Structure 1
Amino acid sequence: MKVDEKHMLSSAVQFFLAGERLTQSIKFADYPEHILIPSNIIMYSLSVEIILKFFAYKINQNVIHGHIISELYNSLPLQDQELIASTPPIGPTNAGDLSDDLRSIDGKNSAGRKKSAFELWRYGYENVEINPISINILRDFFISAHNASRVRFPNLSSSYEDAWGGLKFDDRWNAWPSVWFEAVGYEEGMQAQDDKRIFHEILREKKE
């Protein structure tokens, strides 16, 4: 099966940008301030899934399937795993440790089957085990994988890069609060979002 490589890369960037929009609590039109945690995770997860499938297709000219990010990552040649792992902001780390980090976002559905973050949060009401995750794992991984792809495949860029003259990720963008609101509660999460130290204290208390 042949796919449009440029469209594939552009789709990954598009879902990432959707995740960026959904990260912060927002208020618009007549809607009160709100957060969209599952949608946020789904968009970031989908962007990571597609960028990894983009890597695999460029290397093997073969479309791979599945949603579990750690398995998609581990299916790449070791040199490509190491390239992503060594690229900031997820790096510098090694492929083994990064694979472990990616496995930490998996969970199980009601039938006890291993599922990806994308699958778990897409139908959260069907699942018995959803791990609270730091959304920065997903966000940082995408940025590293995208930047690594520009090194690995320098002659192919997304339509966004073409239109904007490049794609620079904002290091100041702080994605950390929203995914944890479900774990710590909305009110406490709102109080903690401007202070990471307080936020993590709340989280530890909840776990205890």
Structure 2
Amino acid sequence: MVEAELVLRSGTSRVTLREALRILAQEGLLDLSPHRGASVRPLSDQELRELFGVRAAIEAFAAGAAARRRDPVVMERLQALAGRMRKAVVKGDMAGYGRLAAEFHEALVAAGDNAILAGMYAQIRARLRRYQAAMSRVPKLPQTSIAEHDAILAAIAKGDAAAAMALSNAHLDSLVGQFAAPPKTEITEGRTTA
């Protein structure tokens, strides 16, 4: 990213732009290099696994708490979001599906009724969205995710905290498994390795 171009395009001062870039770097979205400027941090398998490991811990705890609470208002909201996701997939609206899936997971965390947990999730939300947007384009992933969401909701509705937690973990493991890049092929001394 060229700072001078960004200043012109955004109509902000260099000081304001630099502060914005610093904040985005703190959130893990940009890399800042002296004399080279800012660049968008690429997606990586390692970050995916680490980020989704944290996400799984948060969401599994929230799903278990939601199952213990069995709040009908919370269930109605989660089920409505699941229904809207199904409709978006039928229409072929993958961007809409992606937004709704992110909203579903945020609502699931909120259903845990734990402000500290919700705050931790908010801290990683921007980084999560980068991966969620990329994942919504993986073939068959939306249909698989919808079925997994339905299973999580069924466990919450039954009040089965252990199943809700296990299904939440399995769902996120499935996402990582479906998204993770295939092994890279390298050519070493005339031989191809995977």
* TM-score, normalised by the number of residues in structure 1: 0.33
| The structure with more radius of gyration | 2
Greater fraction of residues in helix? 2
Bigger relative CO (Cα 8 Å, ≥ 6 apart): 2
* TM-score, normalised by the number of residues in structure 2: 0.35
